[in-house]
Chains A and B, each alone.
Chain A
C-alpha cells in the first residue's frame, strides 16, 4: 500500500487552510454533525477550530445552546485546554517543543532563536500573519530532538540554521506546505 498521500492528508482540514472567516451557519453545521455523540463538546470544539482556525466568541452561545449548557461552562472548557484558542492565527502554526529531551539537545537556544527570528513571543502572531508561535510539551519525537511542529508536520533535529531555511521556504512558497 502506498501511504504517502494518506499521511500527508491531515485527518481534518488543515489549520493552515482555515481563513478565519466564519458564519453562525458554519458553526451550526459542525454542531449538528456531532452533538449526538456522548461527551460531544471536545469534538465540536475541535471541528470548529479546524474549520475557522480558532473558536470565535460568537460560536460559544451556539454551542452552549445546542448542548444545553451555560456559556460559562463552554468558556471554562475552552480556556482549560492549551490547544483551543479564541483568536485568529497565522497561516502556519509553529509549535516548539519545550520539554526535557529537547532541552537536552539545545532546545532552549532554539526557542530563543525562533522567537527572535519571528519577532514574536509564545501565543503571538507575526505582523504579516504568516506564523503563530506556540509552546508544546513533547511531540513524541524525543529521540531526534529538538523538534518543532509546523501545522501537522513534525521536524526533527532542528537547529537555528535549519529553522531559518525552513522559515524562508515557508514564507516564499505560495502553495500550502506539506
Chain B
C-alpha cells in the first residue's frame, strides 16, 4: 500500500515553500520507486515548523520540520520514506509535540489532521454531527444551547453570541434574514480565522448553517478579506462540494430547510471589519460606519435582521451543538467561557496558533509556548489584540487571558493576537505608527478620527524631534482624550490606546 505523506497547504506553509517540498518528495519517491500518496493537509498551526512533513506509520504520524525544499534530498537519503529518526529535522510523533499536546483544542481539533476539502475526512472526525442535531431541534432550542455555552463573540467586542441570535430570532418571521460571517481579520498578529477557513472550511460552513436554522435565515455571506487568496479558493470549492452533498442549498439533508452561502470578497479596508461598515460594503457602498442603533440584529444587511459573527464564533458552534453548550462552558474562567485561539506572532521563536481555555497567563504563552524571541534578545513589549490595543510591558505579563482581567488594565484580548517585540524596538515609532494607521484606515465619517489621527502623527513627530516635548506631550494626551470621547467607532476611539500605553510604560522611547 502507498505510504501516506502529508504536506500542508495553508498560506504559511505555502509561504515557506510547501508546494516545492511536495513536488520534490513526489519526484524522489518516483526516482526510488517508492509508492506514496501525498495528502495536502491543513496546518497544525505550529508555524515555526512549517513546512511540517508527516509520514503515516503503524504507530501514528511522524513529523519532520521545518522542511525547506533544499532539505528534501537529505531527508530522503536519511530514510524519510521509512520514517527513520536519524535526521536533525526528525520530530517524532507529531501528536506528542508538547506545544500541541498541551493545548485544549475544541474548535481547532481537526486542524492540520485532515485534507481540508475532504467531506469524508470532516465527517470521520465528528463533522456535521452538530448540524444533524440542530436539524432535529427547534430554533429556540438551538439558540438556548448557544446561550448555555457562554460563547462570546471572538471578533473583538466579546458580545454574547446567544443573545445576538435571540434578537434576530425574535424579529418577525416571514421576512428575509441574513447570516453574515465577518472574515475580514484585519488585525496584525491574527491568523486564526484564516487557518480555520483554509484548514477546516466545513466547520465554518456548518456553524453558519446552524445559525441559519436557529434564527430562520436562508442566506449567508462570508465577507472575506482580499488579502487571503488561498482561503478564497478553498472556501469556494468547499461551498460547492457542501452543496452537492446536501449540506447547503434548498433542502439541507432532506429536511426541507434551506441555507445558501456565498463568499464576497472585500477590497482592502480595515474599517470594513467593523460590522456596520462591513454591511455597507456588502451592499456595494463605501464602507462608512453606521450609527447604532438600530442594531444589525434588527436592521442589518439590506435593512433586514442580520446575525454578524466572527469566523471563530461560528466555528465554535458545531462543537457546542454536538457536545452540548455545557461541555463548552466547562472550559474557561469567570465570564470568559470556552477556549481562546491565541495567535503568537512577531519576534517569537515558536509562533503559531494555541487554543487553550481562558485563564492561561500571557507569560506562559510567551515563555512555555513561544520559547522566547526569534532574535534571541530580551522581550520588551507585547501588543495583544491588534493595532488598536495597548502595548503591554513586562509588569503586566502575569495577567490571565480573560476579557475582564485585560479590560481592568486598559488592555484587551481582541481577536487573540499576541505580537512580540524585542529590546531593539523603538516604542516611539510604534506610537507614531498607531496614529499613521488610523490616517490610512479611518472611514472618514467623523473629525476626531479623520483629522485627529493626522494631528497625532504631527505631534508625535514634534515630540520625537525634541520640539517643546512637555507641551506637546500634554497636547498629545488631550488629543487622545478627544479621539476616545468623540469618535463614532472603535477605530478612532481606540487608536489612542497603543499611544497612551507607550506614553505610560515606555516614555523614554517617545522623547528620546
- A interface vs B, CB < 8 Å? 1-4, 6-11, 38-43, 45-46, 67, 76-77, 80-84, 95, 99-105, 108, 136-145, 147, 149, 152-157
Contact = CB atoms under 8 A, between A and B. Distances in A.
B345 A142 contact: yes
Interface in B89-116: 115-116
A42 B269 contact: no
A145 B421 CA distance: 12
B265 A144 contact: no
Contacts of A154: 11, 14-15, 230
B331 interface: no
Q: Which 9 A-B pairs have the closest CB atoms?
A: A143-B351, A41-B284, A81-B267, A99-B188, A3-B40, A142-B345, A83-B268, A156-B15, A104-B346
B188 A101 contact: yes
Nearest to A3: B40
B420 to A, nearest CB: 6
Given A7-B40, A153-B15, 9 more contacts: A39-B282, A40-B284, A100-B387, A137-B437, A141-B11, A142-B191, A143-B47, A143-B348, A145-B345
Q: Which of A9, A11, A82 has the most CB of B within 10 A?
A: A11
A142 B186 contact: no
A35 to B, nearest CB: 10
A156 B345 CA distance: 12
A148 B501 CA distance: 29
A80 B287 contact: yes
Contacts of B234: 7
Interface string B332-354: 00000000000111111001100
B417 interface: yes
B267 A142 contact: no
A3 B115 contact: yes
Interface stretch (B16-24, B448-456, B479-487): B16-24
Nearest to B231: A140
Contact of A101 (B189, B227, B265): B189
A141 B441 CA distance: 20
B274 interface: no
A41 to B, nearest CB: 3
Contacts of B267: 42, 45-46, 81-84
B229 A11 contact: yes
B38 A2 contact: yes
A165 to B, nearest CB: 13
A147 B379 CA distance: 21
Q: Which of B185, B345, B417, B440 has the most CB of A within 10 A?
A: B345
Contact of B283 (A39, A76, A83, A84): A39
A104 B425 contact: yes
B159 interface: no
Nearest to B421: A104
16 contacts: A1-B118, A2-B40, A6-B233, A42-B284, A67-B284, A99-B188, A101-B417, A140-B185, A140-B191, A140-B194, A141-B15, A142-B188, A142-B345, A142-B417, A143-B351, A154-B230
B347 A140 contact: no
A46 to B, nearest CB: 5
A102 B189 CA distance: 9
A4 B22 contact: yes
Given A2-B40, A144-B351, A100 B15 contact: no
A11 B148 CA distance: 39
Given A1-B117, A77-B284, A82 B229 contact: no
Q: Which of B39, B117, B302, B419 has the most CB of A within 10 A?
A: B419
Contacts of B264: 39, 42-43
Contact of A142 (B233, B419, B440): B419
B186 A138 contact: yes
B281 A42 contact: yes
B23 A11 contact: no
A100 B269 contact: no
A35 B476 CA distance: 48
A9 B233 contact: yes
Contacts of A42: 264-267, 281-282, 284
A100 B386 CA distance: 9
B229 to A, nearest CB: 4
A41 B287 CA distance: 13
Contacts of A105: 346-347, 374
Given A10-B229, A104-B420, A149-B227, A141 B191 contact: yes
